[in-house]
Structure 1
Amino acid sequence: MSSKLENVSFLERQFKLKQNKTDVKTEILAGFTTFMTMAYILAVNPGMLAEAGMDQGGVFAATAISAAIACFAMAFMANYPFALASGMGLNAFFTYSVVFGMGHTWQFALTAVLIEGILFILLSFVNFREAIFNSIPMNLKKAVSVGIGLFIALIGFTNAGIVVGGGGTILGLGDLSQRAPQVAIIGLIITGLLLAKKVKGALFFGIILTTLIGLPLGVSYMPNGQFLGIFSAPPSLSKVAFQFEFANIFTFDMLIVMFSFLFVDVFDTIGTLIGVSSKANMLDENGKLPKLKEALLADAIGTMAGACLGTSTVTTYVESASGVAEGGRTGLTALTTGVLFLLALVLSPLFGMIPGAATAPALIIVGLFMMSPIKEIDLDDFTEAIPAFLTIVMMPFAYSIAEGIVFGMVSYVILKTITGKSKDVSAVMYVLAVLFVLKEIFI
């Protein structure tokens, strides 16, 4: 009994649970929820990088271990509930643009990720990324939260097959006669009922119940049909770890690829931190995030670790909002998620039984939670409203948090300048707007 109390006391001291108005149970539940909504990366990332010629098992191990390292860094350095893993979009750029499009080896792409990670750390020490975060006006910060909400909801709908692309339209309704969309809709109703009844851990229990419902319908399944099938030996990293191509680091192509990784990583991370921390009321009265430097440094450490182990850029995950929605407020949430990534090395079949249809309801509901700051956006001043609107809609439309920020910030600078309100624009915003325009033209 005394050892249990000592463990709780350690967690209280380390993560300041009472100060953040939370407890061990809430934080661990939030960590489980976050992991379940982002565990798909353990299947998607190895498959995508395998197309580039990398060993799929090695990438799986690298994805899990680098995510754990980054989550632990976030937990102990920043004490924030933000989880990290290899970023979607960044892995697609790795495979389809750098390897297939430009004709480079995957070792070349991995080297670019390593250099980007090193620069990321240096930029953290000189407060460059903090300056970017703090330069974004409050209305745009609130818009980022709303845009991320729509983006997360879109991910949920597409993961479940409720919304699909093609078929003569950009987006359309999926085939609802299929089992996966049906299970997701049932899960959405269940999760909504749990929330309406104010059940603690509603998102987490919604995922579990939806997974169980999917078993007899063939949407989710027990691995190998038996309990013992949930265990597996961790794959080897030997074929992907430390596989760098330093001979081409001073080429123009390396500069372009490295900058592209850096750009998306910086603004995806900043956008996620703004959106999720805004929803969790972590920003101070000036719209700043305490321990921002530590959070950004944890992200950079994850990217360097990922490159060394053999995976694409590690970044802060927007799905962290699901854990925050469950009440996660400290690094104990991130720590729990990191531990689950390590467990996935030997329990990958078990985590693999949770289908996208089961996590989709949680993501859709989190999208709703992220919408609330829209009430606080000034929609009467069009120099504020238009940039905020563009930020919101371009995140799901362009399928990119970074591009949503680009459209919002550039339009903000232009409108404020041409309407004689340039005093509302900081020097950092002007510099960033110019860089964004140059990036869109030349890269």
Structure 2
Amino acid sequence: MKNAISAGLGLFIALIGLLNSGIVRAEDGALLLGEIGTPATFLAILGLLITGVLMAWKVKGAMLIGIVVTTLLGFPLGVTQAPESISLSLSSLSPLLLSPDFGGILSLGVLPLITAVVTFTMCLCFDTLGALICIAGVGDLLDEKGGLGRYSRGMTAVALSTAAAPMLGAPPIGIPVEGSTGVADGARTGLYTAATGVLFLAAILLAPIAGVIPGAATSPALVLIGMLMIHNATNIYWHQVEIALPCFLTMIMIPFTYSVADGIGVGFISYTAISLISGKGKKIPAVTYILTVLFVVMYVLSAI
């Protein structure tokens, strides 16, 4: 399942990159090939080739170099636009800081509140777990059993951040799977995330400059990260249907439903159901049963 989650996230990230670049477009409920001749899509394809070549040459910082080069190439194509003006500004947190509003918490009744809490908790928990597996997998940081090891402490960090976020007027905190780009490029400590945080703080003031980078320049990195992550599918026991089918469903449901949690939920439920029906229920760990029941409860509550 861990390998399936990582591979499914790879497909998800690649799909987002393809859609953002225009290489693939969504129309009438179907995914179609985009307009290759448009400047933005052509630039994205060019950026994908440039970054791919740099990675093949094992150039350090290939993705960052690819983004910068693609951004610069976007100027003559009219995709990259220079900001009309640069102004430094910082919004005040005072309207949101330590100002929670619980006035409408029971406006729809107790059941909708429970449903919302269970659903959001499950989604946040497994979105975070999926992102951690994704990032650790890309960096070959999983232990010999395929577990997160000490990197599981990231779950605690997200939990504490999520608890503190409402006091700042912010939504729940999540781990962006895009962080795998840094790990894939060699990051192995928390220093790169600290540097990213500092750059985000600078971007608050320099938003017009940060906004110069077009989506066509960043999308190739997402596609290439998807490529790096899909190799985890080779570790799945495809010859065992009771394992292969839940893993396959997990892999395809993550991008198809646009939800990591839903993909994981479908995988757990199908694995438990197939194992029980085929008489192999005794081999299932207790925690798997617990997670399956939680997912079933989440879907039942969501349907009410």
TM-score normalised per structure 2: 0.93
Give the one of 117, 138, 147 matched to 2:8. Answer: 147
Question: Is the 8 Å Cα contact of residues 232 and 349 (structure 1) preserved in structure 2?
Answer: no
Deviation at 1:240, TM superposition (A): 3.0
Distance in 1, Cα, partners of 2:214 & 2:236: 36
Deviation at 1:267, TM superposition (A): 0.7
Mapped pair 1:360 → 2:230: no
Give the one of 123, 135, 143 matched to 1:284. Answer: 143
Give the one of 53, 63, 66 matched to 1:193. Answer: 53
Question: Is the 8 Å Cα contact of residues 276 and 320 (structure 1) preserved in structure 2?
Answer: yes
Mapped pair 1:243 → 2:99: yes
Give the one of 66, 78, 88 matched to 1:232. Answer: 88
Question: Is the 8 Å Cα contact of residues 322 and 366 (structure 1) preserved in structure 2?
Answer: yes
Q: Which moved more, 1:334-343 or 1:257-266?
A: 257-266
What is the aligned partner in structure 2 of residue 332 from structure 1? Answer: 191
Q: Which moved more, 1:286-295 or 1:179-188?
A: 286-295
Distance in 1, Cα, partners of 2:301 & 2:22: 36
Distance in 1, Cα, partners of 2:284 & 2:200: 42
What is the aligned partner in structure 1 of residue 80 from structure 2? Answer: 220
Mapped pair 1:439 → 2:298: yes
What is the aligned partner in structure 2 of residue 319 from structure 1? Answer: 178
Deviation at 1:293, TM superposition (A): 4.9
Letter in 2 for 1:148: L
Deviation at 1:302, TM superposition (A): 2.4
What is the aligned partner in structure 2 of residue 379 from structure 1? Answer: 238
Deviation at 1:188, TM superposition (A): 0.6
What runs of 5+ residues in structure 2 fail to find an aligned partner? none
Letter in 1 for 2:287: V
Q: 1:370 to 1:230 in 2, by over 3 A?
A: farther
What is the aligned partner in structure 2 of residue 180 from structure 1? Answer: 40
What runs of 5+ residues in structure 1 fail to find an aligned partner? 1-139
Letter in 2 for 1:155: I
Question: Is the 8 Å Cα contact of residues 83 and 209 (structure 2) preserved in structure 1?
Answer: yes
What is the aligned partner in structure 2 of residue 205 from structure 1? Answer: 65
Distance in 2, Cα, partners of 1:210 & 1:153: 18
Distance in 2, Cα, partners of 1:236 & 1:216: 38
What is the aligned partner in structure 2 of residue 121 from structure 1? Answer: none
Question: Is the 8 Å Cα contact of residues 118 and 298 (structure 2) preserved in structure 1?
Answer: no
Question: Is the 8 Å Cα contact of residues 115 and 301 (structure 2) preserved in structure 1?
Answer: no
Deviation at 1:169, TM superposition (A): 4.3
The number of aligned residues is 299
Determine helix, strand or coil for the equivalent of 1:319. Answer: helix
Distance in 2, Cα, partners of 1:431 & 1:261: 17
Give the one of 158, 179, 185 matched to 1:299. Answer: 158
Deviations 1:197-223 (A, max 9, x none): 221111110011111111222212221
Q: 1:333 to 1:247 in 2, by over 3 A?
A: same
Deviation at 1:388, TM superposition (A): 0.8
Determine helix, strand or coil for the equivalent of 1:246. Answer: coil
Deviation at 1:292, TM superposition (A): 4.2
Letter in 2 for 1:351: A
Distance in 1, Cα, partners of 2:118 & 2:205: 36
Deviation at 1:368, TM superposition (A): 0.3
Give the root-mean-square deviation of aligned CA atoms: 1.7
Question: Is the 8 Å Cα contact of residues 279 and 373 (structure 1) preserved in structure 2?
Answer: no
Deviation at 1:231, TM superposition (A): 4.4
Question: Is the 8 Å Cα contact of residues 269 and 292 (structure 2) preserved in structure 1?
Answer: yes
Distance in 2, Cα, partners of 1:421 & 1:255: 33
Identity %: 43
Give the one of 398, 409, 414 matched to 2:273. Answer: 414
Letter in 2 for 1:220: T
Distance in 2, Cα, partners of 1:351 & 1:321: 20
Distance in 2, Cα, partners of 1:151 & 1:394: 9
Determine helix, strand or coil for the equivalent of 2:177. Answer: coil
Distance in 2, Cα, partners of 1:236 & 1:242: 13
Deviation at 1:427, TM superposition (A): 1.0
Letter in 2 for 1:326: D
Question: Is the 8 Å Cα contact of residues 115 and 298 (structure 2) preserved in structure 1?
Answer: no
Give the one of 150, 171, 195 matched to 2:31. Answer: 171
Question: Is the 8 Å Cα contact of residues 261 and 313 (structure 1) preserved in structure 2?
Answer: no
Give the one of 105, 123, 128 matched to 1:269. Answer: 128
Question: Is the 8 Å Cα contact of residues 143 and 149 (structure 2) preserved in structure 1?
Answer: yes
Deviations 1:61-96 (A, max 9, x none): xxxxxxxxxxxxxxxxxxxxxxxxxxxxxxxxxxxx
Deviation at 1:369, TM superposition (A): 0.3
Letter in 1 for 2:226: G
Distance in 2, Cα, partners of 1:257 & 1:218: 44
Distance in 2, Cα, partners of 1:321 & 1:248: 38
What is the aligned partner in structure 2 of residue 129 from structure 1? Answer: none
Mapped pair 1:347 → 2:206: yes
Determine helix, strand or coil for the equivalent of 2:199. Answer: helix
Deviation at 1:159, TM superposition (A): 1.0
